[in-house]
Structure 1
């Protein structure tokens, strides 16, 4: 069986999380102090030009590899082992029930047999991995097994990027799984450790806003919307006549004209809040649920001024921006003010870095 680069493996050795999105490359390295508390050792980001990564596909390999080299140098890490992720759209996952007590070899044969039913490609064309989740709740003596598969070229692209940058890819995860892992630590800080709380997580990226609704570590609903921060950049281009590159740079550096907030930013924030409200309404009409307990925001565009207030006004639900490093000790390598500004965009990278410490 061809492994999906050890999707479910757990690495105790030093490991950095490397998140490659359509707009940037982000790196996080975590540690633990003697008391077992989390320590943020390093974090860094490097912007990518539009078109280098499109719909999760690497269009400009050399340029992205160079950006990875830059972010590694910027971070100062000497760690070569890296955990990466594929977008959920590139991975097929399925939970199946198998007979308990099988050996690893027997499990592998059973997984391959079952996988043929769910994967619309020849198994020769995919990288496949599986993980025993635990005893089946509905079938005594059986076990729940999670299988994951992706086209080999998708896996090889990510591996090749890491290797071209002098890194060793040891974990290939799914972006949504990595985000959930980082979010879980924050949910545990809620009253009663978040038990039975229904949490709606929205990651507002450049091109896509991803929604996951979680309850007790289980995903009860997920959905992607083609709406993100790149549309704000397009509005700036149309309003002021800048090139896309100028607009993106000025947006990041706060160098826009005086009327930007009233003419461009505020209407965009209202539209984004409406999109999130619509996504929640669609969730309610598609499931037995009619409310959520917490709305959490992450991603590069989540910290736009007024967004949490606009979402609360549209939905009546309390809304907060996630800082995946909240409650962590900071090493001397971290520029705290910069980190806090950028923290929501590091959710997936943080989850990938946490893979080092999974038991």
Structure 2
């Protein structure tokens, strides 16, 4: 995505998702009309090591990536990473379709000074021609993306020092859109589809329309909030609260005193974010909501969203038509595949 990083040929990559609770990775190849999962791995991240997408100790994160690397075939040398939240911004602008690539790049750099709220020497800038503008065919719609160099380079350093090579830097919302489109029906293309990723510390809403991300909103909310609520309610350490949550070893009253309030809070956050999109200047109606991320493995949340929203709600599961090099990987993705959607979207960049 961003200049300064190599663009791949047909070889695949390992998609690496840097989460605050764990780092997840997928290696993907493409055969005769189908995708094959060649490796899946997840490694726990100690609390405080990755905060708000910022790596607090590059050496320790590098060691985690090195451990993950052992789970993948030796022929995989390249990796794809993503930036998100306040570290990245995207904007669609229009430019004359007559401009050649060099002139277009120069014009975008000039335009960036007015549309990007970061000092230009602190960011990477890239652009993609989306196609002719609907209102004026003499213009092209251009997707301009900017990301803070510090965030990109810190992730890339960990990957490169682990023995892999960072070949792709993507925008997180676009990576999720890419993997979510695998579960689209033909009718979805011309409707607004909301993709909601609920992780440990962040919730991200993206709205897709005709193959493009037209709206993105991030919020500091996720599974860690539920863990903190459990810890506070039962006077537990965060480690013990997280263990009890994952093993479903919770007191009887936890469902009513903690889980239900957390689910209601999450639904209200999402309802507010969806309303923000509805109130924005667009003519797109959302007809489906696709859930991704580890947070959606909570069945109570999915059930309440289906009960309260007037749209179809689907938990992402794009792996049904995939082949698997290892049977164990199929078991992992069958059980908790939604939390690997970011890594999958990144891996897809190497095979499409």
State TM-score, norm by structure 2: 0.91
Map 1:1-359; keep pairs closer than 5 Å: 3=3, 5=5, 9-33=7-31, 35-75=32-72, 78-187=75-184, 190=185, 192-287=186-281, 292-332=286-326, 334-358=328-352
Decide whether the 8 Å contact of 1:41 with 1:334 is kept in 2. Answer: no
Q: Distance in 2 between matches of 1:110 and 1:287?
A: 26
Decide whether the 8 Å contact of 1:197 with 1:293 is kept in 2. Answer: yes
| Greater mean alpha carbon deviation, residues 161-170 or residues 71-80 | 71-80
Decide whether the 8 Å contact of 2:38 with 2:73 is kept in 1. Answer: no
| SS of residue in 1 equivalent to 2:131 | strand
Does the C-alpha gap of structure 1 residues 315 and 291 become closer, same or farther in structure 2, counting only changes over 3 Å? farther
Decide whether the 8 Å contact of 1:84 with 1:169 is kept in 2. Answer: yes
Does the C-alpha gap of structure 1 residues 186 and 120 become closer, same or farther in structure 2, counting only changes over 3 Å? same
Deviations 1:132-184 (A, max 9, x none): 22233333333332222222222211111111211100000011110011111
Q: Distance in 1 between matches of 2:282 and 2:102?
A: 40
Deviations 1:160-214 (A, max 9, x none): 1111211100000011110011111211xx2x34232221211111112111122
RMSD over aligned CA atoms reads 2.3
Question: 1:287: how far off?
Answer: 4.9
Question: 1:10: how far off?
Answer: 4.8
Q: Distance in 2 between matches of 1:316 and 1:108?
A: 43
Question: 1:23: how far off?
Answer: 1.6
| SS of residue in 1 equivalent to 2:349 | helix
Decide whether the 8 Å contact of 2:180 with 2:290 is kept in 1. Answer: no
Q: Distance in 2 between matches of 1:220 and 1:102?
A: 24
Decide whether the 8 Å contact of 1:85 with 1:174 is kept in 2. Answer: yes
Decide whether the 8 Å contact of 2:77 with 2:165 is kept in 1. Answer: yes
Unaligned runs of at least 5 residues, structure 2: none
Does the C-alpha gap of structure 1 residues 77 and 45 become closer, same or farther in structure 2, counting only changes over 3 Å? farther
Q: Distance in 2 between matches of 1:297 and 1:237?
A: 26
Unaligned runs of at least 5 residues, structure 1: none
Q: Distance in 1 between matches of 2:177 and 2:134?
A: 22
Aligned residue pairs total 351
Decide whether the 8 Å contact of 2:17 with 2:25 is kept in 1. Answer: yes
Q: Distance in 1 between matches of 2:128 and 2:216?
A: 21
Does the C-alpha gap of structure 1 residues 236 and 76 become closer, same or farther in structure 2, counting only changes over 3 Å? farther
Q: Distance in 2 between matches of 1:36 and 1:352?
A: 19
Decide whether the 8 Å contact of 2:127 with 2:144 is kept in 1. Answer: yes
Q: Distance in 2 between matches of 1:223 and 1:96?
A: 19
Question: 1:81: how far off?
Answer: 0.3
Q: Distance in 1 between matches of 2:88 and 2:284?
A: 30
Deviations 1:29-84 (A, max 9, x none): 11122x22112221111121221111111112222111111222234554120010
State TM-score, norm by structure 1: 0.89
Q: Distance in 2 between matches of 1:288 and 1:114?
A: 24
